[in-house]
């Protein structure tokens, strides 16, 4: 069952793997000068507000990179249709940053549900346990969710994690998190991408009333 969304906790003043992260920054962020290298001073809005990097503190009080990929950074089948009868897009404030307005996607009427994303593993903090979760909202008016939805996570090693979710069990009209899986990063930064997806393509059932905010990639406490 989905968990009530509380995506990011306390922000802390240091990011890991700065060079990989800053490749997608919208504008030069504030930095701390250190003897070794400059450190990012705060969260960073990346790729024209489709991705955001924050810092979290785990139970051991270590600071670790945490990301949010918004819906525009994901590949959503039929969301680009000119007729706009399958998905609709609308603006929504990101409550973790009061001055950022993002776009979210809502199912109007889809039989083929497929939302896919990819993320560079080198941006994550090494030797850390991470979780990947889709952030969604099911409206009271939602229909067609009688079939379980699949969630899949594929690591750079091609290891795959899969689970299914009964969407009708989600709390309505609130952002909730649905986990796709968890994994541990290697001790040293490595190249390669993690891939994650949410899909239901076999039932042929027309579905509506699901809003997709994005995907959280964060350290698991």
Length of the chain: 221
What is the Cα–Cα distance from 119 to 72, expressed in whole angstroms? 14
Contact 146, 205 (CB under 8 A): yes
- pLDDT category of residue 93 using cuts at 50, 70 and 90: confident
pTM here? 0.79
Q: How far is CA 58 from CA 12, 50, 62, 86, 202, in A?
A: 11, 25, 6, 40, 39
What is the Cα–Cα distance from 196 to 184, expressed in whole angstroms? 15
CATH number of the domain to which 188 belongs: 2.60.120.260
Q: What single-letter DSSP state applies at residue 115?
A: E
Q: For 59-80, what is each residue's pLDDT tens digit?
A: 555 789 999 999 999 999 999 8
Domain of residue 102 covers 3-219
Model pLDDT, residue 5? 36
- pLDDT category of residue 81 using cuts at 50, 70 and 90: confident
What is the Cα–Cα distance from 142 to 133, expressed in whole angstroms? 21
What is the Cα–Cα distance from 179 to 7, expressed in whole angstroms? 12
Residue 207 has pLDDT above 60, yes or no: yes
Q: What single-letter DSSP state applies at residue 38?
A: -
Lowest mean pLDDT among 55-69, 105-119, 204-218: 55-69
Q: How far is CA 159 from CA 30, 127, 141, 185, 208, in A?
A: 37, 17, 37, 13, 32
Q: For 120-165, what is each residue's pLDDT tens digit?
A: 999 999 999 999 999 999 999 999 999 999 999 999 999 999 999 9
Q: Mean per-residue pLDDT for 31-52?
A: 47
What is the Cα–Cα distance from 75 to 22, expressed in whole angstroms? 22
Residue 46 has pLDDT above 60, yes or no: no
**Number of structural domains found in the chain:** 1
What is the Cα–Cα distance from 138 to 166, expressed in whole angstroms? 12
Residue 21 has pLDDT above 90, yes or no: no
């Amino acid at each position: 069952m989905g968990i009530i969304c509380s995506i990011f906790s306390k922000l802390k003043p240091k990011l890991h793997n700065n060079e990989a992260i800053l490749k997608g920054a919208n504008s030069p962020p504030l930095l701390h000068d250190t003897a070794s290298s400059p450190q990012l001073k705060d969260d960073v809005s990346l790729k024209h507000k489709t991705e955001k990097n924050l810092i979290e503190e785990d139970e051991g009080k270590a600071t670790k990179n945490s990301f949010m990929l918004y819906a525009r950074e994901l590949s959503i089948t039929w969301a680009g249709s000119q007729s706009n009868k399958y998905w609709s897009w609308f603006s929504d404030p990101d409550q973790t940053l009061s001055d950022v307005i993002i776009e979210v996607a809502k199912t109007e009427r889809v039989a083929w549900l497929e939302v896919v994303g990819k993320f560079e593993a080198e941006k994550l903090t090494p030797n850390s346990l991470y979780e990947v979760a889709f952030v969604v909202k099911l409206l009271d008016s939602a229909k067609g969710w009688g079939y379980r939805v699949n969630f899949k996570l594929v690591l750079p090693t091609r290891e795959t994690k899969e689970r299914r979710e009964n969407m009708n069990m989600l709390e309505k009209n609130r952002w909730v998190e649905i986990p796709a899986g968890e994994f541990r990063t290697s001790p040293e930064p490595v190249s390669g991408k993690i891939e994650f997806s949410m899909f239901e393509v076999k039932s042929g059932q027309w579905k509506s009333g699901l809003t997709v905010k994005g995907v959280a990639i964060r350290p698991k406490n």
